[in-house]
Each structure stands twice: as C-alpha cells, then as structure tokens.
Amino acid sequence: MVNLSSRNKRVIKKCVSYFFLVLFSAFFLFPLVVMVLRSFFTTEESIAIGAGLIPDTWNWDSYAQALDSEFLKYLGNTVIVLAANIIGQPLTAAMAAYAFTKVKFNGRKIVFTAAMCTIMLPSILTMIPVYKIFVDLGWTNSLLPITVPAFFGGGFLNIFLMMQFIRGLPKEMDEAAVIDGAKTIHLMFYITYPLIFPVIALVAIQSFFFAWNDFMGPLMYITDEDLFTLPVGIYNKFFTALTPLESMPNVQMATGVLILIPPMIVFMLFQKQLVEGVTLTGLKA
Amino acid sequence: MKKLSAKAKKRIMANVTGYALILPLLIGLLVFTLYPLLVSLFNSFFYNYDGFSPYEEFEFGFGNYLRAFTGYESEVFWKSIGITFSYAGIMVPLGLVLSFIVALFLNQGLKGIGVFRLLYYIPCLIPSIVQSMIYLYIFNPNYGVMNDIFAGLGFEKSQFFDSPNYNAVLTFMFMNLFGVGGSMLIWLAGLKSVPKTYYEAAKIEGGGYFYSLVRITIPLCSPYIFYLLITNVIATLQICGNAYMISSSGGVDNNLLFFGLYIYRTFMNNNFGYSSALAYLLFIVIAALSALLFRFNKYVYYEGDN
C-alpha cells in the first residue's frame, strides 16, 4: 500500500515535470513557429490584424521573393568572410596556444595577460580608431576589414580553451619524438594538433557562428551594397522600408528561415561538441 | 663552456619559436587593441573631435567628459545610463534565475530530455538579424501577433518598442528572455558536475528537495554562477548591435538608447572625441564592476581547493 502511493507520487511528479517542459517548449518555440508559419502568408495577410498563425493557403511565393539575386550576392560575400574566419581564427589561436603552453619564451606571461585583458574591453572602445586605421589604409568598402583581422588574434577564449587541452596531453609523446630528432614544428603538427583536433574543430564552428551573425563589423566598414554580407544586406533591404506593405513581413520571415538553415544544420551535426565546448570555455581555470 | 652555449642556443631557439608562433596574436594586440586604446584616449581629450580634421582645431581638455555630465547632452547621457543599468540590474539576475529553473527541469533524467534541451536552445541559434526581424514583427504595434494575443486576453493594445515610456525596455527584456538557453547550457554542465553521492547523503539525513538545492546544488555550482554573472554583466552593459537593429535611432524619446548604442550613434555623427570619452567611461565602469565581482571569487567553491 505504501509502495503504491509512493509510486503514484512518482508518476504525478513526472507528469508535472513533463507539463512544465512542454509549457517551456511552447514559449521557446514561439518565435520560430511565428517565423515559419507566417512565411507562408501573402504580404496582405501578413500585415492584417488578427491574422492568426495558420495560413489559409500555403503560399511559397515569399520564398521565391526572398531568394532573389541580392540574397545570393550577399550570401556570396558572407561565404568569403566565413572562409577567412573559419581558417584564420583556429589557426592563430592554435599557434598562440601552443606557444603559451609548450614554448618557454621570455615575456610570455605579459603577452598572455594582455590578451586576457582584451575580453574586458568594450569592443566599441577600440572600434573607432580601428575604423580610422581601415579608412587610412583605404580598406573601407572592401571585405578586408572583416576578413584580415581573423588572422590576427584568434580570440582569447579560443586560445584559453586550446591551452587547457594542450596542458592535459601526456608529455611522454613529445619527449619520445624529441629523442627521435623531431623539431617543434613536427611536434605541433604531428602530435599536438591531431590530439586536440576536436577543440580546433570547435573553435572553427564557433567562428562560423560568429561570422554568420556578425552585424556591427560589416555595418561599420561597408557602405557599398555589392559587398554587404547577409546580416547587413538584409537589414538594408527590409529595415529601411517606409510602409508595412513595402516591408513585406512574409518575405522577411521567409528570408529568416533561409538564413537560419545553415546554423541549424551545423548545430545538429556538432551538437555534442558545441554543448560540451560551451561548458568548458573559461570554467576550468 | 660548450655546455653553456648549448643552453643559450636553446634559449634563443625557444624565444624565436615562441615569438614566431604568437606573432599574429601580437600584431593583432598591438594594431587592433593597444594602439586603438591609446588613440581613443588621446581623441577623448579633444572637444568634439571629428576624426579627420587636424587636432589643432579642437579644444584640448576634459571637455568631452564634462559634456556628458553638464549641459543639454547630460539629459540624454543619464537617460541612457538609466536604461542600460536598470536593464542590466533586472535582466542579469532574472536571466540567471530563469535559466537555472529551466536547467533544473532538464536535469531530472526524464526520457526525451535531449529533445527539450535542443528546443530550448533554438532561439539562441537564430542569427541576431533574424531575431530582430521576428521580434519587430511579433511586437509590431499595428499588425503584430502579440497585440492579437493581448486582445484575446482582454489587455489593452501596446506600442511595445515604440512606447513613449519604459514599456519599450520591458519589451526588449521580454524579447531577450527567449535567449536564456545559452545560460541554461552552462547551468546544465554545472548541475551535472555535482556528485550524486552528496544528494544521497542528504536524503539519508532526511533533507528535502529544497534543502539539497540550497545546501548542495547552489554552493557546488558557484563557479558557474560566477562565470555567468561576470560574462552576462559585461555583455549586457555593452549591448549595441541588437538595440541598433530594433531601433537604430534609440527609439521614441531615446527610450531604447542603450549606452553602447549611444556611443555608436555619437560616432556615426562624426563626433570621435565625445564617443571616445563615452567609451572610456563605459570601460571604467565595466572594469570597476569586474574587479568588484572578482572580490566574490573567494566565496566560490572550486573543487580541489580544499
């Protein structure tokens, strides 16, 4: 009898938990559901009051309108920026992480501390003179200001994350290789980097998300419409519309769905690494 | 003698290799951080410096800093400070508590929990420009879904982001609640790091759920609380891009003029001097707050410390 009641209690507790979990889901999925469903509206329906969520007829025109030549142009620019970031960030971060952990050079503590301090700096503080540097170099209105810096820095948190992993590697392998006559460059590329490859991949994936989302950088440096990346291009296309009919909410939502697809795929593919990586960054001091 | 030179050679090699490897980082630090920091500081002392004219044309001194606190600009300055700090003061604790509660629900070992975790994280995956499109649409005062829901519930129509009062910031806050999934993931890692044996021991001693929560879970998760607190405070005080996308001008009556956006707007008006001064003020505040928060570090329980 006692047994049964405690079992009942457990079942009730489970039901309550699932009830809340579903309730939370409804909340968190709300923006996505609105976006997806309303992307199938016609423009007139999408600016009607009390239009509801389910479209009367499933209208695919908004996707045809969203995927126009401008979108593809912006996508092309974004891909260039992505490539630079996905290569540049992990590369510079991995080099610096190796130097900080394995090479005993003079002044490494100072450089490390300086790099650490950068995470506290408001980005806007450095942005203004950096903007001037790019103006002086004649780089504004090119993709250079948002691609070249990816090769100079790597991001402190990325470096720190890699360092944590390199520190955890057994020293014996390095020692054995040195006896066999291996140089530092061999140790790096044949021993350390293969062993920390999951972390390098994680940094690359995070760079993908950063570059795919970055808005302020391109907004600041690029005024030539032909060079816009997706976020700025989309902003320019929709956010400056004057009338509701011009702003075409249904096409906006369709564009949103299209832009969301790549990050969703990347997240699905690398979910495990990303979730673990998020939790490791900066917590293992 | 020979031995010493071999040692010296090794030292030189280590320095050459080390600096070769950190060269990109070092160049980045010098060109994109240190030099801009100094230039910003320099610019901030030239009253209303426009970024391109010769420095001699501008008055040297604390003019830009005084401008924030006195005269007609101070009204906007204090309003922006008020918005930013009240937002951070409410949103950081609220976000932490809500994401913690959600993480507690996800940490029960129920079936299908992975799916829920994924669903809750989805809003964080949406690129910020797309988020802005969605939220501007949902919260549109004329044809947005939210006013339809309000009408259904019998509430009065709201202007949301266009409100002439604090409702604009409240809408911004509500919008950002969809994004607590990021903190939730970190909480989950914290909850997983607590050894199960502790809970069993508490149970044997007759401690209930809330006893375990307050006495075991929260203290053992303190490194995660600390990390989330620091990163969220720093990020919240710097809000710029997201506010720009919602209203590039700072909203009706500057009701959405977050401090970062204020700096950016000043910069876009070609006032490099004043915007540099504002950016330095923000930096000082963030550094002071971080230093203050780091004093709490000694109350944080790190495994292996004892």
Q: What ipTM was estimated for this complex?
A: 0.89
A56 to chain B, closest Cα gap in Å: 16
Q: Considering only residues A80 and A198, tell me which one the structure prediction assigns the higher pLDDT.
A: A80
Q: How confident is the model at residue B7 (pLDDT cuts 50, 70, 90)?
A: confident
* Average pLDDT of the residues in A144-157: 89
Q: Say which CATH topology domain A65-280 has.
A: MetI-like fold (1.10.3720)
Which two tokens mark B110?
Answer: 């129920």
**A33 and B CB contact within 8 Å:** no
Please tell me which of the candidates B188, B234, B245 has its beta carbon nearest to residue A215. Answer: B245
Q: How confident is the model at residue B40 (pLDDT cuts 50, 70, 90)?
A: very high
Q: Considering only residues B142 and B299, tell me which one the structure prediction assigns the higher pLDDT.
A: B142
Pinpoint the residues of chain A covered by CATH 1.10.3720.10.
Answer: 65-280
Domain B74-299 matching CATH 1.10.3720.10: the answer reads: yes
pTM of the model as a whole: 0.90
CA A266 from centroid of its chain's CA atoms: 10
**Percentage of residues of chain B with pLDDT beyond 70:** 97
Tell if the CB–CB gap between A31 and B131 is shorter than 8 Å: yes
Q: What is the pLDDT of residue A179?
A: 87
Spatial distance between the Cα atoms of A197 and A165, rounded to a whole number of angstroms: 10
A6-60 tens-digit pLDDT: 788 888 988 998 999 999 999 999 999 999 999 999 999 999 888 888 888 899 9
Q: How confident is the model at residue B196 (pLDDT cuts 50, 70, 90)?
A: confident
Tell if the CB–CB gap between B125 and A99 is shorter than 8 Å: no
Q: How many CA atoms lie within 13 A of B96 on its CB side?
A: 20
Cα–Cα nearest to A234, from A27, A80, A68, A11: A68
Q: What is the pLDDT of residue B304?
A: 54
Cα–Cα nearest to A34, from B140, B117, B174, B69: B140
A30 to chain B, closest Cα gap in Å: 9
Domain spans, chain B: 2-43, 74-299
Spatial distance between the Cα atoms of A15 and A34, rounded to a whole number of angstroms: 28
Q: What is the pLDDT of residue A31?
A: 95
Please tell me which of the candidates B32, B102, B260 has its beta carbon nearest to residue A126. Answer: B32
Spatial distance between the Cα atoms of A103 and B133, rounded to a whole number of angstroms: 48
Would you tell me which residues 147-206 of chain A have a C-beta closer than 8 angstroms to some C-beta of chain B?
A: 149, 151-154, 159, 184
Q: Specify the DSSP class assigned to residue A152.
A: S
Which residues does chain A have within 8 Å of residue B26's beta carbon, measured at their own beta carbons? 111
A210-223 tens-digit pLDDT: 999 999 999 999 98
* Average pLDDT of the residues in B52-81: 91
Which two tokens mark A167?
Answer: 């520190």
B241 to chain A, closest Cα gap in Å: 6
**A285 and B CB contact within 8 Å:** yes
B203-246 tens-digit pLDDT: 888 888 888 888 889 988 888 888 889 889 999 999 999 999 99
Q: What is the pLDDT of residue B111?
A: 87
Spatial distance between the Cα atoms of A124 and A68, rounded to a whole number of angstroms: 34
Tell if the CB–CB gap between B126 and A256 is shorter than 8 Å: yes
DSSP A49-73: TT--SS-SS---HHHHHHSSHHHHH
Q: What is the pLDDT of residue A3?
A: 59
Average pLDDT, chain B: 90
Tell if the CB–CB gap between A35 and B34 is shorter than 8 Å: no
**Phi/psi of residue B46, each to 5°?**
-105, 115
Q: Which of A270-279, B106-115, B153-162 is predicted least confidently?
A: A270-279
Spatial distance between the Cα atoms of B156 and B159, rounded to a whole number of angstroms: 10
DSSP A233-245: HHHHHHTT-SSHH
* Average pLDDT of the residues in B55-65: 92
Q: What is the pLDDT of residue B2?
A: 54
Which residues does chain A have within 8 Å of residue B174's beta carbon, measured at their own beta carbons? none
Tell if the CB–CB gap between A216 and B102 is shorter than 8 Å: no
**A9 and B CB contact within 8 Å:** no
